[in-house]
Structure formats: C-alpha cells, structure tokens
Structure 1
Amino acid sequence: MEELAKSWSCLTLSDVKGSQVCITEEEAIPEFVLVAKFLTKRTLNVEAIAKTFTPIWRMKNGFRVTKESDHVVLFTFDNQTDLEQVLNTKPWSFDKHLMVLHRYDKEVDVSESDFNMVAFWIQVHELPVHFQTRAVAEKICGDAGVVNKNMEEGDSMGDGFVRVRVKVDILKPLCKGRVVSLENGKGIWVSFKYERLSNLCYWCGSLTHDDWDCEVWIESGGTLPSEAQQYGAWIRALPFVRSKRSSVSVWVSTNKKLQVQIQRPPQSSLQNHRW
C-alpha cells in the first residue's frame, strides 16, 4: 500500500488526464449478491457448487457462482426474491460441510467479511407441556445465541417440542441445552436439537472442523474412546413437521344444542420442501 502511494505521488498528469471522475450507485449494475464461505479443507470447484445447488434452489432465472478466494465464493442472483429465498432457508451445507452465507456488503472487502454467525432452527425438548410456548423457548435459547423473535407462530410448534430461530457463533461449541429452574425450586434439563446440522466435531462441539482435526483428539494421540465424546448424533434434529395435534372445543348454545368444533393446525408448506 505504501509503494502504491509513493508511485501515485510521483505521477505528473495534465489537467485533463488528472481530472476527477465521479461515478454514482445509479450507474452500477444492479446485482443481488450473497457471499459464502465453505468450511472445508478441499479445493472448491465452482462447477460442482453450481451443479449441487441448481436442483435444490430451483431458481427460475438461475444464478452465477464466482470464486473469490480458496474457500469463499459469491452467489449472484437475478432478483431480490431469489436471494431472500436462499437466505431465509439457511443454513446450507456443501459436501456435508457448513456453508456460512450472508449478504454481500459493498462497503466491506470480501476478505474482511465476518463469517462467524449462522442461523439455525433449534428444537427445545423436554419442556413440561404447560411451558411449551414460543416465549418460554426464546427465553431459554438466549444463551445459545441471538434469538429471532419475528418468526410466525406456526413455525414454532412441533409435536412435543418448540423450535426457535437462533443466530449462533460457530467459533463457540454448540449449546447442548441448559438447566431450567421452576418456581417450586425444582431444576430440569432442557435439551437442544439442531435442524439441518452439517459435519460437527463430536469431541468439542465445533462446526469449524471434523473429529480427526480436533485438538482434543490430536493431543490424546488418538487414544480417546468414543465414550469420551461430548456430543453425538442426538444433537441432530429430524426434519421439522408442524404439530399434528388437534383441539376440540365444546359448548352449549342458547337453544341448548351441543356444539363441537375441531381445530386443526394449518398445513405447512415446509412439509413438502426438500432440503
């Protein structure tokens, strides 16, 4: 950078060649871009990436993949709707490894982008029935990351659990759950399960490396038994299906006739969505 500044100071340009030219945002090509980092040691192949996500995303106008560095690419879409569709249904993975995805900020160099936060759906299990509400689940998930409190109510309720959208810091071990104190002084363990979880280190709970690259495993010289792992397949949630529980309301009308109304949960478009 210093060499560039010195070279610039030595230039002697005519008034015409050296006059300042101003360009505005209105003159830029309208693009809708997401920047993604792939948490894998393998060399990226943009053709393989395009072939992988084309049938999954099913964009009407397609998209473009541009490699920026060894493990960072840009996804360029034709319109805002396609971009939002991909962004709102993350996390995504490639070759079983997590792909950290966020909006491209033209004010920040791609090499300086922050790839530490990823949004997951966390299923909160083992809650007593009368505490299975979104408000309670959001309160409990506060230690797991930044909770998104603007989700639709129907997206929160499953059979026997409540799910919450949480932005997680992937530089920290995944939160397995927490102890919750009830008013009667009793403490209960509430477990977390993560939807669409990619490769995870079962030794330390990190999303940034596999079991074989974990310092815990390496320092042990490969002698640790699997029973010593702090995590397991139990932290992976099954694909979400909205609660199938129906409720029945019974009342007596003014003409003394018994009225019965059955309320069923709305059908979810997520049930037919292929992840």
Structure 2
Amino acid sequence: MDDMTGKWARLSLNTQETQTVPLASTTENNARVLIAKLFTMHRVNIEALSKTLRSMWRSTQEFEIHDLGSNTVLLLFSDEADTLKILAQQPWSFDKYLIGLYKPTEHESVEATTFDYATF
C-alpha cells in the first residue's frame, strides 16, 4: 500500500493539462462560439489542428481553441462574422477527416451538442 501511495505522490499535471477555459464576462451568449468534432478514431494533435485552421480560415480576428476531449474542440471567436463565414463555407476537413461544426443556440450548453448531420 505504501508503494501505491508513493506513486500517487509523484503524479502531477503538466502545464497543458492544468489549463482552464475562462469564459469572459462579456460573453453573454453563444454568438461567437463554435464546437468542432473531427470524425476519426485517431487522436488528433490539437496544436497542429489549431495551426491548420488558422491558415485555412484566414479569419479577420483571432480565435481561441480549447480541447474538450474525444476529438472535440471549443472555438471562441472575437468576431461573430467569422463564425458565420466559416459555417457558410462548410464542409471542412483536417488530415482527410471531416470536421463537423455546430453552433450552439443562445442558452445551449456544450455538453448538449450532438453531431448527427453534416452540411455539404
């Protein structure tokens, strides 16, 4: 038992694992939020995804990308026009895998997101 306690004592989180997703108090609704899911069984490199999306989308303002696990990411945009432009230009792909985009309604939570269709 002492061996197991010693192993637990040595565990720690790295800086990427300890990050939280602060939502600014100015975010009153989901107008600048998109949720993206990559339809693959393989684990996606979030940093590579972020760089690729920034170059593909060429959004007028910056956006933040936060890993939600299970190849799902939360995208927080500075400008609502960017979210509408990206949705209008669907479908998108990353590394030959389809990216499903979902724009939650005003009071919808991220956990309630379903990816049961894709726009082509």
* TM-score relative to the length of structure 2: 0.69
* SS of corresponding position for 1:117: coil
Q: Deviations over 1:209-256 (max 9, x none)?
A: xxxxxxxxxxxxxxxxxxxxxxxxxxxxxxxxxxxxxxxxxxxxxxxx
Partners of 2:59 and 2:100 in 1: how far apart?
A: 20
**Aligned counterpart in structure 2 of residue 29 of structure 1, from 26, 30, 36:** 26
Q: Deviation above 4 Å: which 4+ runs of structure 1?
A: none
Q: RMSD value over aligned CA atoms?
A: 1.9
Partners of 1:109 and 1:44 in 2: how far apart?
A: 23
Q: Would the aligned equivalents of 2:68 and 2:74 in 1 still touch at CA under 8 Å?
A: yes
* SS of corresponding position for 2:119: strand
Partners of 1:43 and 1:54 in 2: how far apart?
A: 20
* SS of corresponding position for 2:108: coil
Where does structure 2 lack aligned partners over 5 or more consecutive residues? 1-23
The one-letter amino acid paired with 1:110 is V
Instruction: Determine the structure 2 residue equivalent to 1:159.
Output: none
Larger radius of gyration, structure 1 or 2? 1
Partners of 2:71 and 2:95 in 1: how far apart?
A: 13
TM superposition shift of 1:82: 0.7
TM superposition shift of 1:94: 1.1
Instruction: Determine the structure 2 residue equivalent to 1:108.
Output: 108
Moved more, 33-42 or 53-62: 53-62
The one-letter amino acid paired with 1:95 is D
The one-letter amino acid paired with 1:99 is I
Instruction: Determine the structure 2 residue equivalent to 1:84.
Output: 84
Partners of 1:94 and 1:64 in 2: how far apart?
A: 17
Instruction: Determine the structure 2 residue equivalent to 1:53.
Output: 53
* SS of corresponding position for 1:119: coil
* TM-score relative to the length of structure 1: 0.32
Q: Deviations over 1:90-110 (max 9, x none)?
A: 111111011110102353332
Where does structure 1 lack aligned partners over 5 or more consecutive residues? 1-26, 121-275
Partners of 1:112 and 1:40 in 2: how far apart?
A: 20
Q: Would the aligned equivalents of 2:102 and 2:113 in 1 still touch at CA under 8 Å?
A: no
Q: Percent identity?
A: 31
Partners of 1:33 and 1:113 in 2: how far apart?
A: 12
Q: Deviations over 1:185-228 (max 9, x none)?
A: xxxxxxxxxxxxxxxxxxxxxxxxxxxxxxxxxxxxxxxxxxxx
Change (3 A) 1:93 1:114: same
